[in-house]
Amino acid sequence: MGREMALTLAEAGADVALAARNVEALDETASLIEKMGRESLVCPMDISKLEEIERSVNDAVKAFGRIDILINNSGIAGDVPVAQMTPEKWDSVIDVNLKGHVFCTKLAGRHMIENKYGKAINIASIFGLVGIVYNSLYSMAKAGLILFTKSLALEWARYNIQVNVICPGYFLTDLNREFFQTEVGQKVINKIPMRRLGDPKEIRGVVLLLASDASNFMTGSVITIDGGHIAG
């Protein structure tokens, strides 16, 4: 899904800095962007390490001169019963799903404030809006990200920076493909009103909206894209 977002921005005319731990995947995406005639920058980064966030933001500004759009799209599962939760599990999920997003926004946002322009887009989850069994850590982190988005939208509105959040439901990716071929996975799909999973390409439209001037009067918005999963 991160690749689809990056390609969406590149197709719309943006040069893109790519940050993640998987350098091979970053290189593949960078190659696709460059074939479109846009520039790309690969920033190997572990979002749980603040020094790596700072380095990546600085590298992006050095390469492109400014940051206009930030998409925070990292996440790991927190699938453990509360009775078995450990401080180490807490730290790992909160660092990746919430803390890293906050500090990445802080560091990139400084440049947006200087330029009096910016689009900050957080990727949360429908499970930041409703609970999910044995995954309270994940839900807490994503709920925190949603409220961070709303609060920051109020704080940065004066700087012409719009801050919004997308809450995806279940999308088919390489990480969950095997699960959704199981009987349990099929039961999950059957609970979705559209009776199917999202295609990663279906995130493109809402990302383009929030990254463009079409959303200049939208800030603090929470957009779900889940096939109607939590509508009822």
Residues designated catalytic: 138
Going 15 to 225 to 171 to 73, the CA torsion angle's sign is positive
The tokens describing 84, both together, are 């078995």
Report DSSP state, residue 159: G
> Could you tell me where the beta strands, DSSP code E, fall in 10-72?
16-20, 40-44, 69-72
Q: Which residue has the tokens 């990546």?
A: 56
Q: What is the C-alpha separation between 232 and 229, in angstroms, rounded? A: 7
Q: What is the C-alpha separation between 195 and 96, in angstroms, rounded? A: 30
